[in-house]
Amino acid sequence: MRFRDYIMEGFLAYEVRAEDMEPGCLLRIRGEGSNRDRFIRPQVRHYITAAGLTIAVESED
């Protein structure tokens, strides 16, 4: 799913893909090459925890 979100004083477009992985799911987040793409993952992490969900494992890439 494609998102356009206001992050760090500007709009950023990014894509989130979800893959069913029992007992949870794998989210793949990809920016579009902006110099502010590094701020997308922390924002998505905030949305997930604010919704009361838990992040069990997070990759570095």
Residue 24's DSSP bridge partners are: 21
CA-closest candidate to residue 16, choices 41, 39, 36, 49: 41
Better pLDDT: 23 or 52: 52
Better pLDDT: 29 or 57: 29
- Sign of the Cα torsion 36, 42, 45, 49 reads negative
Residue 60 scores a pLDDT above 90:
no
For 9-54, the DSSP string reads: SSEEEEEEEEEEETTEEEEEEEE-S-TTGGGHHHHHHHHHHHTT--
pLDDT tens, position by position, 2-51: 999 999 899 999 999 999 988 889 999 999 999 999 999 999 999 999 99
- Residue 40 is predicted with a pLDDT of 95
What is the rounded distance in angstroms from the CA atom of residue 61 to the CA atom of residue 58? Answer: 9
